[in-house]
Structure 1
Amino acid sequence: MSSQIKMHQLRAFVAVSRQGSIRAASRFLSLSQPALTKSIKELEDSLGAQLFIRRRQGVTLTECGEIFFKRASLILEELRVAQEDIAQRLGTHSGQVNLGVGASIARTIMPIVIDRFHREFPEVKVRIAEGQLVSMIPELRQGELDFTINTYYQSAYDNELLYEKLMDKEYRVVCRRGHPMEKARSIKELLHCDWTMPTPRGSYYKLLSEMFSEMEAEPIISVVCETFMSCTSLLAKTDFLSVLSVDIINDPLLGQSLVALDLDLPLPKATFHLIQRKDSTLSPMAAHLAQLFRLYCR
């Protein structure tokens, strides 16, 4: 390496990687394009490696760039958390907490927790990402999420993440009110129906798929809904079936249009965990928010 890597070079590199072009990163950082280009060139010279391939539509990372991005983005996130940690320990209640939640948590416990947290610490910004754990692994790895409240399924990430069990949720087969199969009592009666589910790579739905397969009564999932809104809209307005948590079905807004089937064999419960990186320490504000989730989940 010809010179020491500087923080402004890391910030420039991460911004260009995330924004996809020098122009977009320039607007994001409020810096000139020549200044950004110079920082990237200096960084590449220091590393002795090309980090970007320049294209007409923008830039893409090289193989070296991909490897360096994972480290660089984590360094910047850790620095941000460290700065906020010191400020918070000195009594400044500011900074940002980045949180991930599963759909059923987002519709039930999350609003109560966030409202209380915001009333206690109105200066702290909160970013909430919604989805299954599998979609949040990259952000957890790179420090862009402090923690997530989600279901867990044994995987290759076990050596990287900490899992703290919070609660179990009951799940049921769900349909619209007035569905022709509303009185069905077994999964096998429903195999001819149209089904929608989130991605089967997700923790709970992977477990569910395995259970259906063992029963030799696995529904054919013809539509995959990646968002809760698209799933519930499809259920409410068509004859599609799905599997959702009972507390979502009991929601006053959804309960008027959706019903849970009373099947002879109950579905497995979904276990929700507080999940974070093993090598990370939560800032005081993130730790306080995590504690509120523990309180309301139990």
Structure 2
Amino acid sequence: MLDNLDFLRRFAAVAEHGTIHRAAEVVGISQPALTRSIKLLEEQVGAALFERRSRGVHLTPLGERVLAQARHLIRESQLAETEILSYREGEQGTFRISAAPVWMTAILPQVVAQLHRQFPSLAIQLEAANYSEALPKLANAECDAFFGGFQRIEALQSFLVRRPLFHSHLQILVRKGHPIFFHDGITPDHLLEYQWVSFQSDGAYLDAARQAVQARTGKSITAAVQCDSMLTALELLRQGDYLALLPSSFLFSTYGDGLTAVHSGLDTIVFESGPIFRRSLLSNSAFTRLLELAENRAKVLGLLS
């Protein structure tokens, strides 16, 4: 049914741009030809894919589902073309990677630099994202791989592979020499005496800290500082008497210089971390090399148990 890639590309262009006029310009065909392609695709699926409105078109519920499949098929076609070209011209093409902060700062920069020495024609697109943000992008073929913590384990589409590499621990991080260490035996109550930093790209961190502290003390914590940059959050911890619940993996890299973990009697939150990627990439020599380099980098940092 969805076997005409030209039709699927045209359909995806209309969905993205919202008008036949703009999509026709982008695709490079006439508006009547584009309209006919959409009509034929609708005949194949047996229902309308768009609702026609005065200012353009809007996907129907079925259209939303067809778009997800269309993006998947288009991306698989692109990867297949790249694979074929690689035999003649060497590995090339583009990897679109989403990654959580630990991976984005402490692991992937070194990995990508090493990868490019072996595959200089590759293009890499890196985007910061947490698990909840990346999973829909993987499902909709908007990225090829996610590297980060698996904040929950759930069934994945058959075309995706989850590969845990190490366990990530969420712990309370502070600067070395923080006044909290002046206490003779740190308890959850001592955590209420200091200001907290919240890394807002993943509010779940502060929520987890709030729930844990409230369960032990009956009192709640709030964030004195909220920021969207992990590097800023780490620097705030170095510069002030703040506390933050963050992955202790940072302590294994230079990004954690001057920081340490506080052991207050709260349970450490543990989850698996690693890549989730398109299954078809297992046949791509550049991507399998990327996976090897990522594992080696995690080993060098002491993250592998």
- Deviation string for 1:86-121 (max 9, x for gaps)? 222455321122222111111111110011111211
Distance in 2 between residues matched to 1:201 and 1:282, nearest whole Å: 36
Aligned length: 293
Unaligned runs of 5+ in 2: 300-305
Which segment is superposed worse, 214-223 or 73-82? Answer: 214-223
Any idea what SS the aligned residue of 1:191 has? helix
**More helix per residue: 1 or 2?**
2
Tell me if the contact between 1:26 and 1:32 (Cα under 8 Å) persists in the aligned partners: yes
Q: Is the Cα contact below 8 Å between 1:199 and 1:205 reproduced in 2?
A: no
Per the normalisation by structure 2, the TM-score is: 0.75
Deviation for aligned residue 1:35: 4.1
Residue in 1 aligned with 2:63? Answer: 65
CA RMSD of aligned residues (A): 3.9
Between 1:270-279 and 1:224-233, the stretch displaced more is 224-233
How far apart are 1:149 and its partner, in Å? 1.7
Please state how far the C-alpha of 1:219 moved relative to its aligned partner.
Answer: 4.8
AA of the residue aligned to 1:196? S
Task: Give 2:165's aligned amino acid.
Answer: L
Aligned mates of 1:58, 1:225 — CA distance in 2 = 38
Task: Give the match's secondary structure for 1:156.
Answer: coil
State which drifts further: 79-88 or 274-283.
274-283
What TM-score, normalized by structure 1, do the two folds share?
0.76
Report the equivalent of 1:18.
16
| 1:154-202 per-position Cα deviation (integer Å, ceiling 9, x unaligned) | 4333575533221234544245799876857344322364452446686
Q: For 1:218 and 1:6, how far apart are their aligned partners in 2?
A: 60
Q: CA deviation at 1:288?
A: 1.9
In the alignment, what sits opposite 2:286? 285
Conserved 8 A contact 1:113-1:292: yes
SS at match of 2:190: helix
For the residue of structure 2 that corresponds to 1:97, the secondary structure is: strand
Give 1:264-275 correspondences, 5 Å limit: 264-265=264-265, 267-275=268-276
- d(CA) in 2 for partners of 1:197 and 1:227? 7
Partner of 2:295: 294
- Larger CA deviation: 100-109 vs 138-147: 138-147
Q: What is the match of residue 150 of structure 1?
A: 148
Match of 2:114 among 116, 141, 154: 116
- Residue number in structure 2 paired with 1:262: 262
Assess, with a 3 A threshold, how the Cα gap between structure 1 residues 121 and 56 changes in structure 2: closer, same or farther. farther
The 8 Å contact of residues 195 and 219 in structure 1, kept in 2 or not, is answered as no
CA displacement, residues 224-247 of structure 1 (integer Å, 9 cap, x when unaligned)? 755535655776788764222345
| Deviation per residue, 1:125-166 (Å, 9 max, x gap) | 112222111211122223443322211144333575533221
Percent identity reads 24
Equivalent position of 2:161 in the other structure? 162
Determine the C-alpha separation between the residues in 2 that align with 1:31 and 1:72: 19
Conserved 8 A contact 1:182-1:261: no
* Residues 1:269 and 1:156: Cα distance change in structure 2 (over 3 Å): closer
